[in-house]
């Protein structure tokens, strides 16, 4: 018999992570210019469909079967072959199918994070190919290496909920995409709906409790710690970002507050179940300040990462993984960090996240070159000027005549 409480919790956590994908669509949709709202939102929503198909077909098998100590799994569980609907997860508390579903929701949102960097510059056909190839050659290998018993797991690398696997790889892939597609023709396009950004942030923040607390894959004290650490880090990061921006611009910016919250959420992700509450406070402050600096650095260099995916997710995931190596406490997650004298673990975390980021960057850039041979990656100047909503999708987000 399965434990009904644990099963119910995992169903709830899975549902919360699923909710993050439409939340991301709202977040990006609000930040985009008014002619590209649907173009960015469909890139997020389409991952719900395509990634689910991929996950059931080969994704779960490549991530979580075979290949112990390796880079990628095998195809023993293609289309979930050999996994009965009533098979138990390894802890025996809930069905394997809910673990499969939970991990699928991570797979859905990870490539969608990248889209905010190249808003209104990439064709939909190219993006669909990108969505498939990036998961096969970046996301699946890192899931297997870190969470599926692969190479990095055997090295002793830790990542509670996706600092390396999700945010660092997606953030640096986003930067590679920016370098490949170049700048927007209209870089001054303001957010079309800050209230929509707020709704998206609220859904992301809410869903992140499932993202982080659910990653304990059980219901215990670590689950509640991860839950609280998530909220604390997001809150400290949001206020830190707002205060810094306020001191510089002389006005408290709502978008800055919301962006800071997402930076805090991304940064605490790898460490949420491994560090004490006081460390979550420091991680939140670090996220709000360092991610803010990263965005300003990006702006100074003229990198047109339209929605700050690299500065928030790439730097946030990297920073959080490094700080996990600093603040991990053995009494909490069974692993000591630098403050408890484990230099080796700290170095493993630093090396793992830097290698992951570098691989995601280089592979993504190369992949875009290959995709461009198959179908144009970048939209035409005319399509960009008209906006992708109309030129590619033939739709408008709002009936402007009724406003």
Q: 83-115, pLDDT tens digit by residue?
A: 999 999 999 999 999 999 999 999 999 999 999
Q: What does the pLDDT look like over 261-276, one tens digit per residue? A: 999 999 999 999 999 9
399: confidence class by pLDDT, cuts 50, 70, 90: confident
Whose tokens are 């709502």? That residue is 254
Q: What angle do CA 206, 212, 217 make, to 5 degrees?
A: 125
Give the residue from 29, 310, 8, 344 showing the smallest Cα distance to 197: 29
Res. 186 pLDDT band, cuts 50 70 90? confident
Mean of per-residue pLDDT scores for the chain: 96
* Exposure of 364 in the CB half-sphere (CA atoms within 13 A): 31
**Tens digit of each residue's pLDDT (9 = 90 or more) over 225-274:** 999 999 999 999 999 999 999 999 999 999 999 999 999 999 999 999 99
Q: How far is CA 312 from the centre of its chain?
A: 10
* pLDDT of 403 strictly over 70: no
How much is the pLDDT for 371?
A: 98
Tell me the two tokens of residue 37.
């709202």
d(C-alpha 192, C-alpha 36), whole Å = 9
Assigned token pair, 177: 């995409």
Question: Does 4-394 carry CATH code 1.10.3430.10?
Answer: yes
CB 233 within 8 A of CB 283: yes
CA–CA separation, 251 vs 1, rounded Å?
A: 57
Q: pLDDT tens-digit profile of 107-146? A: 999 999 999 999 999 999 999 999 999 999 999 999 999 9
> Of 116, 119, 36, whose CA–CA distance to 312 is shortest?
116
- Residue 401's pLDDT band, with cuts at 50, 70 and 90, is low
Report the SS3 class of residue 387. coil
* pLDDT of res. 172: 98
- Range 102-139 burial, b when 16+ CB lie within 10 A, else e: bbbbbbbbbbbbbbbbbbbbbbeebbbbbbebbbebbb
Q: Alpha carbon 378 to chain centroid distance?
A: 23
Q: Is the model's pLDDT at 68 over the cut of 90?
A: no
Give the phi and the psi of residue 201 in degrees, each rounded to 5.
-60, -45
Report whether pLDDT(46) > 50. yes
Single pTM value for the model: 0.96
HEC per residue, 42-55: HHHHHHHHHHHHHH
- Of residues 209, 335, 214, 318, the one with CA closest to residue 270: 318
């Amino acid at each position: 018999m399965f434990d009904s409480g644990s099963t119910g919790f995992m169903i709830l956590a899975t549902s919360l992570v699923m909710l993050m994908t439409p939340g991301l669509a709202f977040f990006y949709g609000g930040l985009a210019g008014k002619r590209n709202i649907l173009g960015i939102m469909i890139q997020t929503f389409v991952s719900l469909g395509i990634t689910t198909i991929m996950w059931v077909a080969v994704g779960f098998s490549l991530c979580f079967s075979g290949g112990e100590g390796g880079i990628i799994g095998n195809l023993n569980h293609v289309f979930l072959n050999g996994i009965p609907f009533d098979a138990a997860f390894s802890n025996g508390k809930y069905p394997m199918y809910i673990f499969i579903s939970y991990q699928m929701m991570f797979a859905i949102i990870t490539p969608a994070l990248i889209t905010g960097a190249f808003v209104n510059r990439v064709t939909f056909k190219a993006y669909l190919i990108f969505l498939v190839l990036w998961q096969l050659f970046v996301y699946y290998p890192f899931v297997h290496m870190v969470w599926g018993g692969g190479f990095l797991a055997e090295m002793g690398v830790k990542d509670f909920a996706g600092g390396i696997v999700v945010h660092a790889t997606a953030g640096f892939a986003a930067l590679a995409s920016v370098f490949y597609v170049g700048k927007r023709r209209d870089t001054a396009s303001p957010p079309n709906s800050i209230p929509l950004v707020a709704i998206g942030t609220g859904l992301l923040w809410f869903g992140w409790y499932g993202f982080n607390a659910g990653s304990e894959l059980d219901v215990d004290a670590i689950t509640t710690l991860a839950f609280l650490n998530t909220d604390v880090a997001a809150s400290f990061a949001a206020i830190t970002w707002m205060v810094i921006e306020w001191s510089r611009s002389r006005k408290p910016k709502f978008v800055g507050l919301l962006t800071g919250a997402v930076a805090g959420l991304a940064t605490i992700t790898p460490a949420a179940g491994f560090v004490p509450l006081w460390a979550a406070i420091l991680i939140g402050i670090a996220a709000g300040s360092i991610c803010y600096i990263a965005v300003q650095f990006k702006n100074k260099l003229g990198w047109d990462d339209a929605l700050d995916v690299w500065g928030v997710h790439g730097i946030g995931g990297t920073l959080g993984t490094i700080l996990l190596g600093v603040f991990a406490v053995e009494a909490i997650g069974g692993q000591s960090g630098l403050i408890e004298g484990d230099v080796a673990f700290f170095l493993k975390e630093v090396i793992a996240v830097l290698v992951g980021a570098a691989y995601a960057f280089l592979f993504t850039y190369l992949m875009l070159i290959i995709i461009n041979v198959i179908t144009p990656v970048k939209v035409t100047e005319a399509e960009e000027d008209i906006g992708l909503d109309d030129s590619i999708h033939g739709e408008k987000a709002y009936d402007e005549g009724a406003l």
